[in-house]
Amino acid sequence: MKRILCYGDSNTWGHDPATTDRFDEKTRWPRILAGSLGNGYDVIEEGLNGRTTVWDDPIEGYKSGKTYLPPCLATHHPLDMVVLMLGTNDLKKRFSLSAYDIAEGAKTLVDIIQRSDAGIGGGSPRILLLAPPPVARLSGYADMFEGAEAKSRQFSVQYARVADEMGCAFLDTSEIIVSSPVDGIHLDAGEHRKLGEAVSVRIQALMSD
């Protein structure tokens, strides 16, 4: 049984932009991934609304992906792979970060995983780094994410750079999905399906290497 950890934010948790509730297990992309991979794979959902890469949120609290990642890896080991998609919440105006710095935050998480013993036989798990999709036209989140649209369009290049520097696999989600026109941040149900299926294809290719 191969174990895949999906570590992310509200788009991994399954936030429905229309209702603000959580999508059901038939809709969330990690569940789509699990169904697509089929028997022989155990997909673990670790999504948290508001989670950042490495930054402590002075307003929402307990959102740093860096803080929770080591115990999360220890909880779920042994892991064959970690699928990492974080960075959208780093675009909040309160953090005043560039796309470069956000990607560097993701790089720190990749480093933590690579230095861990959470993989098979006490090694480190393989990593699939996902560049989050660009932010669309914002509605209710416009003030909180002021300036986010332009920065998010740089994610593809910056996350590809990090993946190259760290020697991990990479997937540019902007080539697959778009953020919802409802709120500009989250994914509609159809995009969850597209993402889950695309990640499945990528994982199967990586596992066959």
Q: Residue 140's pLDDT is what? A: 85
Work out how many domains the chain is built from and give that number.
1
Q: What is the CATH number of the domain that holds 69?
A: 3.40.50.1110
Give the chain's residues under pLDDT 50: none
Q: Residue 209's pLDDT is what? A: 77
Q: 97 — phi, psi (to 5°)?
A: -110, 150
Environment class of 44 (CB within 10 Å of its CB; exposed 0-12, middle 13-18, buried 19+)? middle
Whole-angstrom distance, CA of residue 180 vs CA of residue 167? 31
Q: Residue 139's pLDDT is what? A: 84
Whole-angstrom distance, CA of residue 90 vs CA of residue 145? 9
Q: What's this model's pTM, rounded to 2 decimal places?
A: 0.97
Domain range for 202 is 2-207
